[in-house]
Amino acid sequence: MPITAIRGFNDILPGDSDIWRRIESEAYRLFSGYGFSEIRTPVAEKAELFLRSIGETTDIVEKEMYTFEDRHGDSLALRPEGTAPVVRAYIEHKLYIAPVSKLYYTGPMFRYERPQKGRYRQFYQIGAEVMGDDSPRADAEALSMLMSFFAKIGVAGVELHINSLGDANCRPAYKEKLKAYLAGVKGALCENCLRRMDTNPLRALDCKASGCIEATKDAPSIVDSLCEGCASHFGTVRKYLALSGIDARINPRMVRGLDYYTKTTFEITSTALGSQNAVAAGGRYDGLVKELGGPETPCFGFAIGMERVALILKETASHAGSPLTVFIALGEKAEEASIPILRSWREKGSKVMEEFSPGSLKSRMKRADRLGARYTVIMGDDELAKGEVAVKDMLTSAQERLSFDAALMRILSE
């Protein structure tokens, strides 16, 4: 029996990988324009980092982390998300010396979830963090950048849902209100929500169990419980989103699956997806840097789910990468002459694959077709002597003799 990949861990195959690369390079280009620089952190961290940041009573930490002991008995975890590692590195390398750090990252994350379309155990995120800026305009700017990103790469049906989770000033009182409400509908809550009712009642608003969704329908709204500072922050975020021409829907039930969020939280969904329809999510986390031992640093960040974005683009957009040319040299002389010619063509940006098989010209042309050639270039002794090649347009079957340079211009013109 051949060995297969681990369940929920995917290969990204040629064709798809072109889409992935396009998504990544568009993100890098756009984010750089807003002053972001890349940071790369390891895929594994001390497990404690995630317990202390994401929160011990979150689904990620309770059920989804890949935690293991290394040979020394140290408890390590494959990162389930990118923010905590970036914060760890930010503190460790004293990046807070800069007045503001704008960082982006990309890479695989790991969560032990039930694999299904759009949900995997190894999945990729592109994320960005604005560190050291408490202005609501920073939230709105990052959200606007994200919406531009989706527009630029062609993700359709994008919707922005926002909420505010308050802060240390107003959240405790809201928690009490919610607890009291939950106590009244206790009988309908799932086991998990019951267990976390005292320590982390907000989780019940995020629970996917139908009983919990029903029971929390009339729960008090956090938006109504915000203190003056949080309410004004939220108002300014909404004002600046409106100034950017962005429609935002307020969803007071959206509490997100990580405990470190404060004030603004958001999720972006796409109608082009089925049930796993969130393509990006994030929010403000003003307390996390301090919590992890750094100086007081207000931050805002987000992460984009690469697989879901790639799924949409695969189904909707066209992905003609640069067209392939297959080059067939006939005979030893032409084979030798092709070496410097192809080298210079490739340096000039053409995408050319040389076809080396020993068969007849007819069978080699067939192979060129099966390789997906847009043009096939043939060079025999006769052409070579005249400094020419035969260029066959594989779409129209038209063939013409062109000088080396004219042939290059032709294949580059597509």
Q: How many helices (H) does the chain have, and how many strands (E)?
A: 16, 16
Closest separation in Å from C-beta 32 to ligand ATP: 21
Q: Which residues contact 385 (CB under 8 A, 6 or more apart)?
A: none
Distance of CA 377 to the CA centre of its chain: 39
Question: Per CB under 6 A, which region of 26-34, 275-283, 345-353, 385-393 contacts ligand ATP?
Answer: 275-283
Q: Interface with ligand ATP includes 383 (CB under 6 A)?
A: no
Question: Per CB under 6 A, which region of 94-102, 178-186, 188-196, 305-313 contacts ligand ATP?
Answer: 305-313
Closest separation in Å from C-beta 310 to ligand ATP: 10
Question: Per CB under 6 A, which region of 137-145, 301-309, 320-328, 345-353 contacts ligand ATP?
Answer: 301-309
Give dist(CA 379, CA 364) in Å, integer: 13
Question: Which residue from 50, 120, 261, 285 is in contact with ligand ATP, where contact means CB under 6 A?
Answer: 120
Judged by beta carbon, residue 123 or residue 345, the one nearer ligand ATP is 123
The DSSP string of 134-179 is --HHHHHHHHHHHHHHHHHHT--SEEEEEEE---TTTHHHHHHHHH
Give dist(CA 363, CA 365) in Å, integer: 5
Q: Interface with ligand ATP includes 303 (CB under 6 A)?
A: yes
Judged by beta carbon, residue 111 or residue 364, the one nearer ligand ATP is 111
Helix (H, G, I), strand (E, B) or coil at 216: coil
Q: Interface with ligand ATP includes 12 (CB under 6 A)?
A: no
Q: Interface with ligand ATP includes 137 (CB under 6 A)?
A: no
Q: Interface with ligand ATP includes 276 (CB under 6 A)?
A: yes
Structure letter (DSSP) for residue 189: S
Backbone angles phi, psi at 6, to 5 degrees: -65, 140
Q: Measure the CA dihedral 150/153/156/157, to 10°.
A: 0
Q: Interface with ligand ATP includes 125 (CB under 6 A)?
A: yes
Give dist(CA 85, CA 76) in Å, integer: 13
Q: Interface with ligand ATP includes 281 (CB under 6 A)?
A: yes
Q: Interface with ligand ATP includes 278 (CB under 6 A)?
A: yes
Question: Which residue from 279, 312, 330, 411 is in contact with ligand ATP, where contact means CB under 6 A?
Answer: 279
Question: Per CB under 6 A, which region of 118-126, 177-185, 332-340, 343-351 contacts ligand ATP?
Answer: 118-126
Question: Which residue from 133, 160, 305, 310 is in contact with ligand ATP, where contact means CB under 6 A?
Answer: 305
Tokens 């931050």 found at: 299
Judged by beta carbon, residue 82 or residue 328, the one nearer ligand ATP is 82
Closest separation in Å from C-beta 348 to ligand ATP: 39
Closest separation in Å from C-beta 122 to ligand ATP: 8
Give dist(CA 149, CA 88) in Å, integer: 27
First-to-last C-alpha distance (Å) of the chain: 44
Question: Which residue from 88, 308, 364, 392 is in contact with ligand ATP, where contact means CB under 6 A?
Answer: 308
Number of residues binding to ligand ATP, judged by CB under 6 A: 18
Q: Using alpha carbons, select from 205, 106, 168, 127 the residue that is nearest to residue 298.
A: 168
Question: Which residue from 111, 171, 196, 233 is in contact with ligand ATP, where contact means CB under 6 A?
Answer: 111
Q: Interface with ligand ATP includes 203 (CB under 6 A)?
A: no
Judged by beta carbon, residue 67 or residue 236, the one nearer ligand ATP is 67
Closest separation in Å from C-beta 222 to ligand ATP: 17
Judged by beta carbon, residue 108 or residue 323, the one nearer ligand ATP is 108
Q: Using alpha carbons, select from 308, 193, 186, 297 the residue that is nearest to residue 255.
A: 193
Q: Using the CB atoms, write b or e for 154-174: b if 16+ within 10 Å.
A: ebeebebbbbbbbbeebbeeb
Structure tokens of 54?
A: 């994401």
Q: Using alpha carbons, select from 363, 355, 356, 344 the residue that is nearest to residue 407.
A: 344
Q: Using alpha carbons, select from 313, 298, 22, 304 the residue that is nearest to residue 147.
A: 304
For CA atoms 370, 376, 379, 383, the dihedral sign is positive
Q: Interface with ligand ATP includes 307 (CB under 6 A)?
A: yes
Q: Interface with ligand ATP includes 257 (CB under 6 A)?
A: yes
Site string for ligand ATP, 76-95 (x = CB under 6 A): -----x--------------
Q: Please provide the size of the chain in residues.
A: 414
Question: Which residue from 31, 36, 123, 300 is in contact with ligand ATP, where contact means CB under 6 A?
Answer: 123
**Residues contributing to the site for ligand ATP (CB under 6 A):** 81, 111, 113, 118-120, 123, 125, 257, 276, 278-281, 303, 305, 307-308
